[in-house]
A and B are shown apart, each in its own frame.
Chain A
Amino acid sequence: MYKISLKDLDTLFREIAGNNELILPVKKAGQINFGAYEEGVETDLINKSVKSPKDAFFPQFETLYNVKKTITPADELADGEEAANTKIRTKLSIEMEGLKDKDFVIFGMRACDVKGVEVLDNVFLSDPVDSFYKARRDHGIIVALACKEPEESCFCTVFGVDPADPTKAKADVATWIVGEDLYWKAVTEKGEKLTESVKSALTDADEAAVESEKANITSIMDKLPNTKLSLEGWGAGKTDEKFNSELWGKIYNPCLGCGTCTFVCPTCQCYDIKDYTTKDGIQRYRCWDSCMYSDFTLMAGGQNRTSQLQRFRQRFMHKLVYYPDRYDGMFSCVGCGRCVDKCPQSLNIVKVIKAFDKEEKGGAV
């Protein structure tokens, strides 16, 4: 275990950034989002970022490959090849977009965010493996940070996340802010390596302070209103029961069908693949999509989910039933509470779970 004074954090960041790309919570135009470290950047390690840090592994927009069209000039044609034959003279070549090949550090992820990455791993690293995602995972070094001030929207403990101890999540390094210091503990081999490279900035420390901080965080979590949420009735095998519930019809109504919840969510993994015409070919890119959008999975026939009720249901069924069905009962919500904070209409997964709970236990909603 090491520590560094909060005052000297910038030295640490500079040290890390000297060797690797560094991503951390940055305050820009009044909002906190994960972004690249730059000299003089304003960081915020206490408050929750608007968007989750999943961009680091699964960016909102990324190019997959470019298709280029080249035409053989008439004078380079082989004998017998007809100049007017456009087919033999047109060549399409595909240029793959390079995979991430340099290590990078993502600093300040919370335990819930790290758990979110686990959710994404299940999807992107199972067969067929998403090579773009895998390259980023392989090169990404996660430095997680225990939550200093959990907020009332937080309910990660419901999903077995311990905000007090990031070592329990799949972080490479765990850190805590205690008093005026940041405590640092390498968890994995990657973490050790990183620690080694920044050791000059760190000093040795003992774990006692961290232990009391952990206890403090745990006691705060106990006081938060949503951490008592019951997941009874959700999980694998509940499709018929939940899908057919009439309750959806009663609660979906205010939903705007915007993509806020999906875009701030650390676990939403849906994307769309699109083409963009360039000077001499096509650029194929992928970008996040939202199941809340009316054109989500739109096919030529127009028969995707056509009502907001269906779309609304899909999101929560996916998080709480379909995903557990597929991945050993693991929920694809980590209780970060971002959707709770950001939904324009104050709808959210907590309200949905509570509504079902209430209905199942009798009484009106």
Chain B
Amino acid sequence: MQGLIDRLTALLNDGTVARVLGWKKGDMPYNPEPAIFNSAEELKDFVYDGFCGANLSKMMIEATKLEGKTAVCLKPCDTYSFNQLIREHRVNRDNAYIIGVGCRGKLDIEKIKKDAKGITEISGTELDGQEKVTIKTIYGDKEINYTDALLGRCHVCKGKEHMIADETWGESKDTADQERFEEVQKLEAMTAEERFEFFKNELSKCIRCNACRNVCPACSCRKCVFDNTKFDAQQKANVDSFEEKMFHIIRAFHVAGRCTDCGECSRVCPEGIPLHLFNRKFIKDIDKYYGEFQAGKDPEAQSPLTDFTFEDIEPGERG
């Protein structure tokens, strides 16, 4: 990590960049927050470890509007989002200096907390850290395999390549050990009643906090349809009904063909709803019906929903 800080310091000092967008040490061992560093001095609080899961691409929308270049640390999967934002003219590439940081998968604190309460110290989460993560708590010490504590999305890792970067730092690891569409397939294999129960159960927890939407790098609308008056759809009520399903379907639909499957929605949901199951269903359908497509891989590629062929499958048909 010191190497990265040194490099960032150099970039700031030689004027290549005016600021750095990275992660700042938290007040607990596991809660670093995204932050902008304006000087080499401020960089002393910079951190990059297994808890830096946040995808910083979306913050570049505002950051690249600022004077001068902003250096941003992007993990391999974050670069897909950044590419997608370039395609949609949402970030100014000229004002971005991308450091492709290495990644060996990011940690899910909820998984760690499951049997570790009162955490005071965690070690072994650095990029070059150990296979095991050691957790000290006021109730005693715990140990967990790094791979067992990974975020769900890391199990379907898109690979260790950065799709876009001005320079890279650190080694990456492809942490995929699951089929990407396994969960979706499992649901598809259920009966309609079972599926309805599953989603009803999960979505009944939704508190309409909009964290999934606000964190999503594809949901970058200046003002969401659910917040503006254009559709008369701005409702904050969560009633045990279709309403939040409608919200989640539209949320996923609006990013269909643009969603890079970065998994931020599921990561941030305070109620642990597997929101990526909506997005990934669309991705699976798109792949199946219109040919494989990975948003953010190629910033020039036409999105499947703004494209068509004459022979497309008819709605309702199962291909």
Contact = CB atoms under 8 A, between A and B. Distances in A.
A316 interface: no
Contacts of A17: none
A88 interface: no
Interface of B: 26-28, 31-36, 41-42, 54, 59, 117-120, 137-139, 201-202, 204-205, 207-211, 213-215, 223, 227-228, 234-239, 267-268, 270-273
Contacts of A344: 54, 211, 214-215, 267-268, 270
A233 interface: no
A272 B36 CA distance: 34
Nearest to A223: B138
A132 interface: no
Contacts of A346: 26, 31-33
Contacts of A151: 117-118
A29 interface: yes
Given A33-B205, A344-B211, A260 B270 contact: yes
Given A256-B268, A346-B31, 9 more contacts: A31-B205, A61-B238, A253-B34, A253-B35, A258-B214, A258-B215, A340-B31, A346-B33, A350-B27
Contacts, number: 135
A257 B120 CA distance: 29
Interface stretch (A71-79, A184-192, A288-296): A288-296
30 contacts: A28-B201, A29-B201, A31-B271, A51-B207, A61-B238, A149-B117, A149-B139, A151-B117, A151-B118, A152-B28, A152-B120, A153-B28, A223-B138, A253-B34, A253-B36, A253-B59, A254-B33, A254-B35, A256-B215, A257-B214, A259-B207, A259-B208, A260-B270, A263-B208, A263-B270, A264-B270, A274-B237, A295-B228, A344-B214, A351-B27
Contact of A60 (B119, B227, B237): B237
Interface of A: 28-31, 33, 50-51, 60-61, 149-153, 220, 223-226, 253-254, 256-260, 262-264, 272, 274, 285, 287-290, 293-295, 340, 342, 344-347, 350-351, 354, 364
Contacts of A290: 209
Nearest to B202: A29
Q: Which of B118, B236, B268 has the most CB of A within 10 A?
A: B236
